[in-house]
Amino acid sequence: MVQNSFSFLNFILDPFLKPLIKIFSPFWFLIIITFLVTLLITIIYKYTTNQELVKRLRDEMKDIQKQMKEYKEDVEKVKSLQKESFEKMGLQFKQSMKPMIITMIPMIIILGWLAGNLSYETLKPGETFNVEIDIKSFNATVNLKVPEGMEILDGNEKQADPIAKWLLKGKEGDYILEFIVKNEKEDKLYNKEIVITTGSKYKEPITLINDDIVKEIRVGNKLLKILGLSWFWAYFIFAIVFNSLLRKLLKVY
């Protein structure tokens, strides 16, 4: 579902990012992309904001925080300082609006591409993987047909209870699996595209059908983990680190 949702972005970023993802491991690829994206955002922020004003507002807000601690027993004084602090926060927010608007669409495009290319591990040549189809009826038989280059290790025909499962392996290539579902109503054919590769390409593992017979078809691509995390949380942590370092290095307030 993730890859299908963002597949329209492929033609924009594939020429630039696909060569990198083939050269580097997912860990180093994400490190490089996060650094470049964070660097771009930091530079845009620096040159689209009034840095002198932002620095002054930050210093003044720090001073207000100190005063609030000093006058914590004086309720009226604290209220006055809080009001002043909110006003300065508003001014600071206005400064951040312009770079936020400029970077919003590029960030959506980049994160969408990452979601479609780093969410799952690929199916490797010669390695076994599971395929299953979730049927809405317990009285269905499913026959799986695979093209040349693939092998079913545990029999073509399965009884759905209500899930039918197979163990497969294959050579490198793009394939279409055919599921023939036989039940009391009718026999119906369903297809599922898969990719077996030594590279980084994969098809969305889950295909929602949700008709009168089938709920969904699932392929056993494992979730991709980077430092034990999903790509998003790994990206989020890397971005925080790089943002802190780059702001200090480039003197961005």
DSSP codes joined into one string, 99-114: HHHHHHHHHHHHHHHH
Kindly report the backbone phi and psi dihedral angles of residue 180, in degrees, each rounded to the nearest multiple of 5, phi listed first: -105, 110
**What average pLDDT does the segment 45-50 reach?**
93
Tokens coding 142: 């499913």
Asked if 14 and 98 sit in the same domain, the reply is yes
| pLDDT single digits (tens) 168-181 | 999 999 999 999 99
- How many other C-beta atoms can be found within 10 angstroms of the C-beta atom of residue 14? 13
Asked if 240 and 115 sit in the same domain, the reply is yes
Judged against a pLDDT cut of 60, whether residue 2 lies above it is answered with: no
Asked if 115 and 133 sit in the same domain, the reply is no
In a domain, 124, yes or no: no
Number of domains in the chain: 2
Q: CB under 8 Å to 247, separation ≥6 — which residues? A: 42, 253
In a domain, 44, yes or no: yes
The dihedral sign for the CA sequence 67, 71, 76, 79:
positive
Confidence band, pLDDT 50/70/90 cuts, at residue 100: very high
In a domain, 237, yes or no: yes
| pLDDT single digits (tens) 19-34 | 888 888 899 999 999 9
Asked if 156 and 239 sit in the same domain, the reply is no
In a domain, 225, yes or no: no
User: What is the structure's pLDDT at 158?
Assistant: 93
Q: Which residues pair with 173 in a beta bridge?
A: 196
Asked if 51 and 115 sit in the same domain, the reply is yes
Asked if 206 and 237 sit in the same domain, the reply is no
Asked if 8 and 106 sit in the same domain, the reply is yes
Confidence band, pLDDT 50/70/90 cuts, at residue 156: very high
Confidence band, pLDDT 50/70/90 cuts, at residue 74: confident
In a domain, 155, yes or no: yes
Which residue range forms the structural domain that includes residue 146? 129-219
Judged against a pLDDT cut of 90, whether residue 77 lies above it is answered with: no
Asked if 111 and 181 sit in the same domain, the reply is no
Asked if 53 and 85 sit in the same domain, the reply is yes
Judged against a pLDDT cut of 80, whether residue 98 lies above it is answered with: yes
User: What is the structure's pLDDT at 183?
Assistant: 77
213: alpha, beta or left, given left = phi > 0 and alpha = psi -120 to 50?
A: alpha
Judged against a pLDDT cut of 70, whether residue 7 lies above it is answered with: no
Percent pLDDT > 70 in the chain is 96
Q: Which residues pair with 226 in a beta bridge?
A: 229
Q: CB under 8 Å to 96, separation ≥6 — which residues? A: 45, 49
Tokens coding 165: 């499962």
User: What is the structure's pLDDT at 139?
Assistant: 79
Judged against a pLDDT cut of 80, whether residue 11 lies above it is answered with: no
In a domain, 40, yes or no: yes
In a domain, 224, yes or no: no
| pLDDT single digits (tens) 182-199 | 977 778 999 999 999 988
User: What is the structure's pLDDT at 19?
Assistant: 86
| CB-CB contact of 231 with 115 (8 Å) | yes
Asked if 114 and 235 sit in the same domain, the reply is yes
CATH of the domain at 189: 2.60.40
Percent pLDDT > 90 in the chain is 60
Asked if 143 and 99 sit in the same domain, the reply is no
118 closest CA partner among 16, 222, 240: 222
Q: Average pLDDT, whole number, for the chain?
A: 90
Q: CB under 8 Å to 233, separation ≥6 — which residues? A: none
In a domain, 191, yes or no: yes
| CB-CB contact of 141 with 38 (8 Å) | no
Judged against a pLDDT cut of 70, whether residue 3 lies above it is answered with: no
For residue 162, cis peptide bond before it (omega within 30 degrees of 0)? yes
DSSP 171: -
Asked if 214 and 164 sit in the same domain, the reply is yes
Cα–Cα distance measured from residue 106 to residue 176, given in angstroms and rounded to the nearest whole number: 34
3-state secondary structure of 203: coil
Looking at this protein, which amino acid is placed at residue 51?
A: Q
**What average pLDDT does the segment 122-129 reach?**
96
> Can you give the length of the chain in residues?
253
